[in-house]
Structure 1
Amino acid sequence: MRHWIGGLLAALLPILPAAAQPDALVARGRQLVEGIAACGNCHTPKGPQGDVAGMAYAGGFVIDIPGAFRAVVPNITPDPETGIGRWSDAEIARAIRDGKRPDGSTIGPPMPIELYRDIADADLAAIIAYLRSVAPIRNAVGKSSYPMPLPPSYGPPVAGVAAPADDPVARGAYLAGPLGHCIECHTPMLADGRRDWSRTGAGGVPIPGPFGMVVPRNITPAALSGWSDAQVIRAITQGISADGGRLSPPMAFPYYARMSDAELRDVVAYLRALPPLR
C-alpha cells in the first residue's frame, strides 16, 4: 500500500484542488474523526454518561493497563499552551503516522501507530484540517508512564500512502485497519507484545477499564457465519449482538453510528473475507 507519491503533508496541501481547501477537506476530516477513526473515544475525557460535554478532544482520559502502561491521553485541540496549536501540519502528520512528537520523543500505546502508518495522504490531510477547526480548549494533562520500553521508532519515516483500491474488501480493510484500527483490539498478541497478524480478527486480549474487563470478540467468519449483514452493522453502530445482548465499551458505538451506509457495507465485506479462525 505504501509508496512514494511525493513529499510530506506540508507539500501535499498546496496542490490540493481549490475546492478542497478548506471546506471539503474539513468536512472529510469531520467524517473520519467523528466517525470511523473515533478519535474522541480516547481523546475526549469521560464521565458517568460518556464524553464530557464541552471538552471534545481536550485529553485527560486515563487508560491504565497494569504492567504495561498508564496512558494519559493528550489534548489534541488547537490550544497553543496545552494542545497542538503550535505544531505544524507536518509535525501533526509525523505524530500520527510515525509516532514522534515535535521534540523527537516516541508516542506510546494505545495510539495504534503501526496501523496509522498506512493512513492515506488525502485522509491524513483531512484529519489535520479538521483538528485545526475544532474549538481550542485549555486543559493541561499529566504524562503517561511506560514500565515497558518504547521502540526508538516504528519504522522509517512514512513518505506517502495511496488511497485503497476501489474494491469493497480493500476499502473495508482500510476502514477497519489504518482508519478505525478495529483489528488491533480484535487480534491476539504474541508473547513479545506484538500483534499476531496471522490470526487477524480472531479475538483480542482482555481490556480493563471503568466498564469492567472486556475481551474483544472473534470477528472472523468462524464467529459471524450465523450473523446477517444487518446484525453485524447493528453490532458495530448500536452495540447489540445478534442474540440481542448488549456489547460493551471501549468499542466506539456512538462514533461508528455516524459512518455512512457504504462504509459499513465495506467493513462487513472485509470481515466476511477474513480467514475463518477459532
Structure 2
Amino acid sequence: MGASALTAGDSAAADLSRGQYLVEALAACDNCHTPRGPNGYDLSARFSGGSQTFAGKDYVARGSNISPDKETGVGDWGDDELSAAIVAGVGRDGQLAPAMPSDSYRALTNADRNAMIAFLRASPPVKAQPAPPQRHGSWSPHPAPGAEATFDEAALSDKIKRGLYVASIARCLACHSAEVDDAPDHVNGLGAGGKIFRTPAGVAVASNITTHPGKGVGAWSDDEIKRAVTQGLSRKGEALKPPMSTLAKAHFAKMSPDDLDALVAYLRTLPAKE
C-alpha cells in the first residue's frame, strides 16, 4: 500500500502503536503510574497511580492516575493540558513535583507527544482513590544538553541526534549524571554517575556511562552496553541492582534495534569523566 493510500484508520493505528512504544519502551510510564503487585505491575489497574512515594528536600509525591477515568484520572483533560503535564510539568493545580521528569520529555516531537496522548486515551479507564496529599515543592528544568526543546522529525534521521533523543526520553542522563542539590549536573558531571537510588531492594548508585575506559563504558563493546540496557546485566554478566534491572527487563528490552544502535552511538560521544 502506498503512502497516498493510507486511510485515517491506518494513521490512527500507527499513532497508537507509536504511542505504545514510547510509553512502554522508552518513557516507562508504568514505573511511576501503575501499581505493583507481587508479580510486578498490576495491569488490571494500569495507569491508576503508582505504589512508590517519591520524596526530595521540599516535595513528597506519588504517581497520579493517568488513565482516562473522568473522575479520578485525566479523562476530562484536554490535549493541551496533557501536553503541558508531559513536557512542562504543569498540572491543573500548578507545577508538578520534580519526580515528574518533564525536562526529559521536552525533546518529544509533536507527533510523538500526540501519539503518547492517544495511547493513554485509548487505555481502559480505572477509577482509583486519589493519591494522598502531596507537596510539590519548587522545580527548575535540567534537560540534557541538546534536548532542551522539541525535536524536529528530520533531526531523527541523524543517528547521534536520534541517540540523544532516546537517551533523553529514557532519562539515561537524568539518572546517570552527577548531582548537585538533587539536580543533575550536566555541566560537570554529564553521564558520570553517582546518583543514589533507595529502593526496597536496597541502595544503588548510578554508574558512569561516559567513554572513560576504566570508570565508564569506554572499553565496553556495543553488545555489552546493549545487554546492560535491555537485560540489566553488567559487563561480567551479573545482575544490576534496581531500578536499572527493573527498567531494563520491563521496558528497555522493548527498545527497537535502530533506537538501541542510536543510543549506543550517542553514548560513545560522551566526554570521559571520572
Q: TM-score, normalised by structure 2?
A: 0.86
Deviations 1:209-252 (A, max 9, x none): 21211111111111112211111111111111111111122221
Of 9, 13, 21, which residue of structure 2 is paired with 1:23? 13
What is residue 12 of structure 1 aligned with on the other side?
none
Deviates more, 1:40-49 or 1:127-136: 40-49
Q: Is it true that 1:117 corresponds to 2:110 in the alignment?
A: no
2:81–2:92 CA contact under 8 A, matched in 1: yes
What is residue 3 of structure 1 aligned with on the other side?
none
Q: Which amino acid aligns with 2:26?
A: I
What is residue 138 of structure 2 aligned with on the other side?
150
Identity rate, percent: 37
What is residue 86 of structure 2 aligned with on the other side?
96
Q: Offset of 1:67 from its aligned partner? A: 3.9
What is residue 223 of structure 2 aligned with on the other side?
230
Q: Superposition pairs for residues 196-275 of structure 1, below 5 Å?
A: 196-198=185-187, 199-222=189-212, 223-251=216-244, 252-253=247-248, 254-275=250-271
Cα distance in 2 for residues equivalent to 1:220 and 1:127: 30
| 1:190–1:144 Cα change, 3 Å | farther
Q: Offset of 1:109 from its aligned partner? A: 1.9
1:65–1:207 CA contact under 8 A, matched in 2: no
Q: Which amino acid aligns with 2:106?
A: R
Runs of 5+ consecutive residues of structure 1 not aligned to the other structure: 1-16
2:106–2:150 CA contact under 8 A, matched in 1: no
Cα distance in 1 for residues equivalent to 2:75 and 2:24: 20
| 1:68–1:245 Cα change, 3 Å | farther
What is residue 128 of structure 1 aligned with on the other side?
117
Cα distance in 1 for residues equivalent to 2:64 and 2:58: 18
What is residue 140 of structure 1 aligned with on the other side?
129
What is residue 159 of structure 2 aligned with on the other side?
168
Q: Offset of 1:144 from its aligned partner? A: 5.2
Cα distance in 2 for residues equivalent to 1:20 and 1:173: 29
Q: Which amino acid aligns with 2:35?
A: P
1:58–1:139 CA contact under 8 A, matched in 2: yes
1:63–1:209 CA contact under 8 A, matched in 2: no
Cα distance in 2 for residues equivalent to 1:33 and 1:25: 12
1:69–1:144 CA contact under 8 A, matched in 2: no
1:114–1:154 CA contact under 8 A, matched in 2: yes
Q: TM-score, normalised by structure 1?
A: 0.85
Q: Offset of 1:166 from its aligned partner? A: 1.7
Secondary structure of the corresponding residue to residue 208 of structure 1: strand
Runs of 5+ consecutive residues of structure 2 not aligned to the other structure: 1-6, 143-147
More strand by proportion, 1 or 2?
Answer: 2
Cα distance in 1 for residues equivalent to 2:54 and 2:27: 21
Q: Offset of 1:195 from its aligned partner? A: 1.9
Higher normalized contact order (CA 8 Å, seq sep 6+, divided by chain length): 1
Q: What is the count of residue pairs matched by the alignment?
A: 256
Q: Offset of 1:22 from its aligned partner? A: 1.4
2:60–2:97 CA contact under 8 A, matched in 1: no
RMSD: 2.3
Q: Offset of 1:70 from its aligned partner? A: 2.6
2:54–2:99 CA contact under 8 A, matched in 1: no
What is residue 4 of structure 1 aligned with on the other side?
none
Secondary structure of the corresponding residue to residue 273 of structure 1: coil
